Amino acid sequence: MATKKKAANKAANKSAKKATKKGAAKKSAAASARKGKYVYTWGDGKADGDGKMKALLGGKGANLAEMTRIGLPVPAGFTVTTEVCTYYYDNGKKYPVELDEQIEKGIEVMEKSMGFKFGDTEGFPLLVAVRSGARESMPGMMDTVLNLGLNDKTVKALAAVTENERFAYDCYRRFIQMYGDVVMGVQKRPDEDHEPFEAVIEEYKHEVYGKDIIDSDLTAEDNQELVARFKALVKERTGKNFPADPRKQLKGAMGAVFSSWMNDRAIVYRRKYNIPAEWGTAVNVQAMVFGNTGGDSGSGVAFTRNPANGENEFYGEFLMNAQGEDVVAGVRTPDPVIGLKDILPEAYDELLRIRETLEQHFTDVQDVEFTIQNKKVYMLQTRNGKRTAMAALKFAADMVNEKLIDWETAVLRNPADQLDQLLAPVFDLAEVKKAKAIAKGLPAGPGAASGKIYLNADRAEAAAQKGEKVLLVRVETSPEDLRGMIAAEGILTARGGVSSHAALVARQMGKVCICGADALVIDYTKKTVSVDGQTFSEGDYLSIDGTEGLVYGGELKTAPSEIITGLLEGDKAAQKTEKYKNFVQLMKWCDKATRMDVRTNADNPEQVANAVAFGAKGIGLCRTEHMFFEGDRIDAMREMILAETEEARRAALAKLLPYQRDDFYAIFKALEGKPATIRFLDPPLHEFLPHSEEQQKDLAKKLGVKLADIKRRVEDLHEFNPMLGHRGCRLAISYPEIAEMQARAVFEAAAKCKQEKIKVAPEIMIPLVGYARELEIQAGIVHEMAKEVQKETKTKFNYMVGTMIEVPRGALTADDIAEHAEFFSFGTNDLTQTALGVSRDDMGSFMNRYQEADIYPNNPFATLDQTGVGQLVEIAIEKGKQTRPDIKLGICGEHGGEPQSVKYCHKVGLAYVSCSPFRVPVARLAAAQAAIVESRA
């Protein structure tokens, strides 16, 4: 497993570097236009950059510059631009020749602003933090080094000038640990469960104190001894001495940050969130301020509103006498930020002032990092806060009411790919009443999740790949756990708070999450979790409620969300909830903006009713073959397949006709005049026949035929590649009586509706057409049946005939096909298979490797391949309109419910997308966002 992953990472690194090189020429030209300016400074209320320069300065650097410009207390620093990252990878990990001189000027700006000298051994030495900064936030995915600039001499100077030896050596210990890990590669080996530096600390604490104590209780002497042990560990693991020169330290840290752009977790994260490798990261070098100087200092992370549930409250955590990494690492469980009100009231009031300033300026919820040094507040970062779908919905609605944003911005603020979180199940109340909570933690990601517990990210990922529902349970998570977090249904940690790594990443991914459930005793060696007198082993079930922060033993049943019960069941209590009301308002805003309709893929009245409740404007795909499997219908279908003559086939089809007619009638009634695209029989006939001998014997008895005849027919219908075989329109070319029966069923149902004054709008779709003549023959049958039924029933009804474009030849000859088609519906599931030459059912053996190597940026059966398959779609649109300018165009593959694909469909001018009922709200939101973005362009 490790070898495969290593090979995949190597391939991914190589591919990502190539992608970075692609943008090099363009970026280099941009750099030349700025005359080789690679370093942008800020300090004392002035900044070279601003908040609009995220592409060049990264999100962190741009916002540090912006906060400086609006007068917030930001320690001075400078940003090394993303273009240097591009140059770094394009030139064998070397830097532009101008960079050293520009960095020296950046250091001078910091020294002047802060009043300290970098590397000073006499006075207060300027120490710096070195952090990454991509244009899109990637929390915890890249590397950071704090307290840089310390060595055996500067640490003594720091101790002397502050008269605080414990603080000075605490900083030095932290620096060696971070630098040793990030820059020098002293990390845990495959056979180790604990980080090597943490193992040294734990061993020392037990050796000296006989127990585990918090780091802030370590004395100056303790930290001095740990510094010596850490240096020895670095020497043992790397064969090198720890570097003493601050400028060499800075160069090493910068290289580590740039290199971390291509580390495994960053690559995995970028792939999940479609962040291009060629963007690169900036490096931010900022003067250190210290939260670990004593009882009047501390560090914290906060959100201007609650990112889990959306409440308008200052929400976050802090630790006294600690640095920022202590808060986010999850090693200690911090205190709620509101506690500062009692401990340092003036600092708390200043934070509330900054909170209001940031929201008014950025008009969005901010995620901030701050340090309090001797009661004074300093801002280290702000960025738009990651949020759950529930919080995003409430933020957007509240900010419109507060007149901070308009309704169009509110629509854009709700990520379409997260919207289905709002529809996710919650625990059944009756089940919860019977169950007993065995632990309580901090609710970090709302929702309900049950799964088999795994204490290791690799094992969790492997179990999920086998189809298991998984909970990742850790003492605390780190960025190395990303793969397991992606695979898990939910995340549970014993330590850490609501701003820890686990909580932050879980919220972004929409994972159910509980942090800081300190009653849990996790034993990595035994692979057990003990709590409340019970012990759970890997593979046992736990259930977590991320809304309440409660942990339950075993597996709990779930129930639908308030939105589901409110919309589909008319539940009055659910309809009164704020969540339901905000969702309905969001959908109303979507209707005001959208150009494309959203239809549903539905095969029965219940599915239609659900989809219409979700806002569907009709059916984009009714798979008629699904109707043949209910009750005794399958027997009539099998009788038709086994028939030796046309007469016998027609007799069997006559048995199916009433079933199909009644189904279509019920569907038309549920649609209330909305259009219904009805696809004629598509799968190969062998799919309807039994393949086990026992089932074949049962069928022979039912139909009164010989078992040998059934076996022979099954053998006759066997195909080596059924997807490309005797299916779709080819069936009706061979057996036109099938198409006749289906057309008659549709039109008799339509006639009955018309007689009952129910509006109908049937659209007959012929599948798998690659030749115009195929459609011409089928359309002829449909039109003939329509005439017959209208004459027999003395009614008139409107209908359309079109085709599904799902093979490349159909797209390339769309101008000919449009002679006989009033609409095209793109069947992108099969169009993707035939265009890529890949079977979606058989791609599992290489899919992961292809994504690891960035061959497939996304699963092409989940997100439409716009570059390749998209060309076929666009050719078909252009050619179809040449022949029939008013041709109706839509998509009915499941891509029609995926946000990126929906936005592409808007761009190329489709009239509608169609998806499964429960994806309709997602598609409506994505379609509205596409229209708003287009209108603002």
pLDDT above 60 for 32: no
pLDDT above 60 for 1: no
- pLDDT category, 330, cuts 50, 70, 90? low
Give the pLDDT of residue 2.
40
Least confident of 108-122, 372-386, 499-513: 499-513
CA distance linking residue 50 with residue 31, whole number of Å: 17
Give the pLDDT of residue 10.
46
- What's the mean pLDDT in 515-520? 89
Give the pLDDT of residue 35.
61
- pLDDT category, 383, cuts 50, 70, 90? very high
Give the pLDDT of residue 541.
94
Q: What's the Cα-to-Cα distance from 438 to each of 96, 447, 545, 909, rounded to whole Å?
A: 58, 18, 12, 54
Task: Answer yes or no: are the C-beta atoms of 764 and 802 closer than 8 Å.
Answer: yes
CA distance linking residue 698 with residue 635, whole number of Å: 11
- What's the mean pLDDT in 367-386? 95
Q: Which of 350-359, 527-536, 632-641, 893-902 has the highest mean pLDDT?
A: 350-359
Least confident of 65-79, 496-510, 574-588, 868-882: 496-510
Give the chain's count of helices (H) and strands (E). 38, 34
Kindly report, residue by residue over 906-930, the tens digit of the pLDDT.
Answer: 999 999 999 989 899 999 999 999 9
Give the pLDDT of residue 357.
98
- What's the mean pLDDT in 752-767? 97
Least confident of 24-33, 281-290, 344-353, 903-912: 24-33
CA distance linking residue 560 with residue 672, whole number of Å: 26
Give the pLDDT of residue 8.
42
CA distance linking residue 824 with residue 802, whole number of Å: 6
Q: Which of 85, 501, 513, 905 is labelled catalytic?
A: 501
Higher pLDDT, residue 845 or 306: 306
CA distance linking residue 508 with residue 499, whole number of Å: 12
Kindly report, residue by residue over 301-328, the tens digit of the pLDDT.
Answer: 999 999 989 999 999 999 998 887 777 6
Q: Is 85 a catalytic residue?
A: no
Give the pLDDT of residue 272.
78
Least confident of 489-498, 748-757, 843-852: 843-852
Question: What average pLDDT is seen over the chain?
Answer: 90
Radius of gyration of the chain (CA): 32
CA distance linking residue 461 with residue 571, whole number of Å: 38
Q: Which of 171, 515, 753, 892 is labelled catalytic?
A: 892
Higher pLDDT, residue 879 or 483: 879
Phi-psi region of 246 (alpha: psi -120 to 50; beta: other; left: phi over 0): alpha
Question: Cα 228 vs. chain centroid, distance in angstroms?
Answer: 43
- What's the mean pLDDT in 189-208? 88
Structure tokens at 223: 């930290």
Kindly report, residue by residue over 167-180, the tens digit of the pLDDT.
Answer: 999 999 999 999 99
Structure tokens at 131: 């952090």
pLDDT above 60 for 17: no
CA distance linking residue 869 with residue 577, whole number of Å: 43
Higher pLDDT, residue 730 or 276: 730
Q: Is 892 a catalytic residue?
A: yes
Give the pLDDT of residue 634.
85
Structure tokens at 823: 């609409």
Give the pLDDT of residue 52.
95
> 772: which residues sit within 8 A by CB, 6+ positions away?
813, 816, 817, 819, 820
pLDDT above 70 for 487: yes
Give the pLDDT of residue 499.
62
pLDDT above 60 for 12: no
Give the pLDDT of residue 15.
46
Kindly report, residue by residue over 777-825, the tens digit of the pLDDT.
Answer: 999 999 999 999 999 999 999 999 999 999 999 999 999 999 999 999 9
CA distance linking residue 376 with residue 354, whole number of Å: 13
Kindly report, residue by residue over 564-584, the tens digit of the pLDDT.
Answer: 999 999 999 999 999 999 999
Give the pLDDT of residue 22.
44
Kindly report, residue by residue over 408-418, the tens digit of the pLDDT.
Answer: 999 999 999 88
Task: Answer yes or no: are the C-beta atoms of 443 and 425 closer than 8 Å.
Answer: no
Higher pLDDT, residue 850 or 905: 905
- What's the mean pLDDT in 764-781? 98
- What's the mean pLDDT in 850-861? 84
Residue 529, φ and ψ in degrees, nearest 5: -125, 120
Closest CA to 421 of 395, 398, 391: 391
- pLDDT category, 26, cuts 50, 70, 90? very low
Q: Is 363 exposed, middle or buried (0-12, 13-18, 19+ CB in 10 A)?
A: middle
DSSP string covering 183-250: TT-----TT-SS-HHHHHHHHHHHHHHSS---GGG--HHHHHHHHHHHHHHHHHHHSSPPP--HHHHH
Kindly report, residue by residue over 691-722, the tens digit of the pLDDT.
Answer: 788 888 888 888 888 888 888 888 888 877 87
Give the pLDDT of residue 329.
65
- What's the mean pLDDT in 726-737? 95
CA distance linking residue 290 with residue 167, whole number of Å: 9
pLDDT above 70 for 7: no
- pLDDT category, 430, cuts 50, 70, 90? confident
